[in-house]
Amino acid sequence: MEKIQTKIETGDCLEILNHYPDNYFDLIITSPPYADSRAKTYGGVKPEKYVEWFLQRSKEFLRVLKPSGTFILNIKEKVDEGERHTYVIELIMEMRKQGWRWTEEFIWHKKNCHPGKWPNRFRDAWERCLQFNKSKNFNMYQDNVMVPMGDWAKTRLKTLGKNDIVRFNSKVGSGFGKNISNWVGRTMAYPSNVLHLATETSNKSHSATFPRMLPEWFIRLFTKEGDIVLDPFLGSGTTCEVAKELKRSSVGIEILPEYVKIAKESVKEDQFVLFEKRGKYERKIKKGHNKIRRTASRRVSSKTA
Amino acid sequence: MEKIQTKIETGDCLEILNHYPDNYFDLIITSPPYADSRAKTYGGVKPEKYVEWFLQRSKEFLRVLKPSGTFILNIKEKVDEGERHTYVIELIMEMRKQGWRWTEEFIWHKKNCHPGKWPNRFRDAWERCLQFNKSKNFNMYQDNVMVPMGDWAKTRLKTLGKNDIVRFNSKVGSGFGKNISNWVGRTMAYPSNVLHLATETSNKSHSATFPRMLPEWFIRLFTKEGDIVLDPFLGSGTTCEVAKELKRSSVGIEILPEYVKIAKESVKEDQFVLFEKRGKYERKIKKGHNKIRRTASRRVSSKTA
DNA sequence: AGCTCTTATGAATCATTGA
DNA sequence: GTCAATGATTCATAAGAGC
């Protein structure tokens, strides 16, 4: 098996990435400090300055990303003076001018978002996962993220054993095609662009951690084993941890020493386990897979009960 | 009870609205023809021209909306050359320059999105419901859209949906006990800004109707009985139908005669039933409730199983 | 009334073919 | 070459029929 590397660097990604060559990463995935948040750690970028601040860095991301690669940006605009701020949509416009293609916008539906009540606003239960690419053709491994089919399939497809059940679509070319027999016995379906993930209420001592499932899903979708992933705003190291479990190399960049420390410890622990207790590592991987499967099956049973 | 009026007009809302005074409507809710769609009926506004085309009309919407009112815009950008088109986010930017406040973006999660498979894209399962306002203080009646929560749904009210949109009023006096207000506080929660609704796949003879629950939810949330609602792109009349059921006055404007005909028939039929066969009307309403409850119950059982 | 089973179809997207 | 029409692909939901 190919050897994978996990590297965590301390500093501003704008500087650190200077040392990396063009077309180097297969996937960039990150959840950057939102405007005005983490004021003490990142200098508190003001919403008005956010686009400018980010564009300098996204220019570097564009350079180090492979043409076949993908950039996933998890972000959500803050409320400012009772309005949604426009820095995110401005950023999309400006990144396109920079050369990025805005391929898709995934929705992360936060199933257990924070409770709260305001007179003119409901709880914010979703975030954007913006997909940007350098070219029209990029790598996408859809089979890696298939989900169990809805229960309707069990009852319906089961009975369609006869070879030619044909739906004549006279006007609209939608619905089942002519070869429904292809579908008999299928149990998995491709997902949509809406992700239902709970936020992690974990104990990790830092803010704004995204749940492991989020980077995991995108890493599985847009990379294969041995590929190399970048998270330029690593935080406490989730992306690198997940990448490593999935046998992808990764580079994480984080400006705040406390976070770097946490991140390095997680990864170091993994290395220890990897080299000295292989059995346990295997179990860990398996556990990860089971976790995914369990989640998926929970979703399905939820759909079918 | 206050008398309510339902009025359906034929024409381009840009012209028709000239006849309406400033600050007249409490809520504007619409799903305009998307760029490049309905080419044969609406002239098929090109994506490049869409913002300009819409801005003329949103200027009128701004004029006729009360300062305390809300404008809900259901829209989604098409894929163009493998990229999401930017006309929607450009529209947000331009409408703000026009004087609108972009208060919030609700997500409509389309549970039964269109099937299909492509090498570089998953199925599109969501649309935007953009909330715009004229002022920071607008009317919002949050209690009208509360949803049941927690174990209560499993045990006492299997028929109602957690995380779902339910007619709160319909439960009052329907046999759940007189002290409903006591447990309402503990068992009902405010929803989030993510709406889970299936598109209607029924047999209505026209395309692109949004599900009744969508206008219903926003009408309940942003208006009270006797208020007046506008849908400037009425389509087959869903908004006016729902407004009428909820005892709100409404004006619907539709350019295509066929749709106007359908819309007028729905409203007329309701009137006929209302005045000549009251018993049947009652049944119809009840059937409507049952429909909702059935939908909710499927979803709930799904979440709790 | 409450099941199961059948059937219709929905703001889709992409590649190919034809004008 | 540009643009329009056609074909191929694929889920989930709700109405309706039947029992």
Confidence at residue A114, expressed as pLDDT on a 0 to 100 scale? 83
Residues sharing a CB contact under 8 Å with residue B118, sequence separation 6 or more, in sequence order: none
Task: Find residue A189's DSSP bridge partners.
Answer: A147
The vertex-B275 CA angle with B274 and B276, nearest 5°, equals 105
Calculate how close chain A gets to B274, using CA atoms only, in Å.
35
Partner A contacted by B138 (CB < 8 A): yes
**Tokens found for residue A108:** 């992360």
Confidence at residue B270, expressed as pLDDT on a 0 to 100 scale? 56
pLDDT in tens, A53-75: 999 999 999 999 999 999 999 99
pLDDT in tens, A159-191: 553 333 444 333 333 334 444 555 667 789 999
By C-alpha distance, the chain A residue nearest B100 is: A83
Smallest CA-to-CA distance from A302 within A192, A195, A156, A151 is with A151
Which of A38-47, A87-96, A173-182, B112-121 has maximum average pLDDT?
Answer: A87-96
DSSP assignment letter at A188: E
CA of A192 to C1' of D7 (A): 23
pLDDT at residue B274 is higher than 50: no
Partner B contacted by A109 (CB < 8 A): yes
Chain B interface test: which of A71, A83, A301 (most B C-beta within 10 Å): A83
Confidence at residue B208, expressed as pLDDT on a 0 to 100 scale? 63
The CA distance from B302 to A280, in Å, is 36
* Closest residue to A190, CB basis, from B96, B103, B122: B122
Q: Report in angstroms the alpha-carbon separations of B32 from A12, A228, B58, B223.
A: 44, 43, 11, 21
* Closest residue to A123, CB basis, from B81, B101, B192: B192
What does the pLDDT average to over B31-44? 70
The CA distance from A80 to B205, in Å, is 43
DSSP-based three-state secondary structure for A299: helix
Q: What would you report as the CA-atom Rg of chain A, rounded to the nearest whole angstrom? A: 21
pLDDT at residue A284 is higher than 80: no
Q: How far is CA A268 from the centre of its chain?
A: 23
Confidence at residue A33, expressed as pLDDT on a 0 to 100 scale? 85
Q: Which of A121-125, A271-275, B28-32, B124-128 has the lowest mean pLDDT?
A: A271-275
The CA distance from A60 to A172, in Å, is 45
- Provide the chain B residues 18-47 that lie in CB contact (below 8 A) with chain A: none
pLDDT in tens, B56-67: 999 999 999 999
Partner B contacted by A80 (CB < 8 A): no
Q: Report in angstroms the alpha-carbon separations of A253 from A175, A229, A232, B121, B194.
A: 47, 11, 5, 29, 33
Contact call for B142 and A122, based on CB within 8 A? yes
**Tokens found for residue A39:** 């004021």
The CA distance from B112 to B146, in Å, is 24
Confidence at residue B45, expressed as pLDDT on a 0 to 100 scale? 84
Confidence at residue B219, expressed as pLDDT on a 0 to 100 scale? 98
Considering only CB atoms, which chain B residues are within 8 Å of A124? 192-193
Q: Which of B29-43, B165-179, B291-305 has the lowest mean pLDDT?
A: B291-305
pLDDT in tens, B186-206: 578 899 999 999 988 765 555
Confidence at residue A3, expressed as pLDDT on a 0 to 100 scale? 86
Contact call for residues B239 and B30 (beta carbons, < 8 A): yes
Q: For chain A, which residues make up each domain, given as ranges?
A: 6-146+191-270, 147-189, 272-305
pLDDT at residue A199 is higher than 80: yes
Confidence at residue A38, expressed as pLDDT on a 0 to 100 scale? 57
Confidence at residue A295, expressed as pLDDT on a 0 to 100 scale? 31
Q: What is chain A's mean pLDDT, rounded? A: 80
Residues sharing a CB contact under 8 Å with residue A305, sequence separation 6 or more, in sequence order: B301, B302, B304, B305
pLDDT in tens, A103-145: 999 999 998 888 888 999 999 999 999 999 999 999 999 999 9
Confidence at residue A39, expressed as pLDDT on a 0 to 100 scale? 55
Confidence at residue B158, expressed as pLDDT on a 0 to 100 scale? 38
CATH number attached to the domain at B6-146+191-270: 3.40.50.150
* Closest residue to A84, CB basis, from B83, B103, B138: B103
pLDDT at residue B183 is higher than 90: no
pTM: 0.84
Q: Residue B299: which nucleotide is closest by CA–C1'? A: D13
Q: Residue B123: which nucleotide is closest by CA–C1'? A: C12
Tell me which of A208 and B289 has the higher pLDDT: A208
Considering only CB atoms, which chain A residues are within 8 Å of B194? 109, 125-126
What does the buried/exposed string (b/e) look like for A97-121 if buried means 16 or more CB atoms within 10 Å of the residue's CB? eeebbbbbbbbbbbeebeeeeeebb
Q: How much of chain B exceeds pLDDT 70, in percent?
A: 70
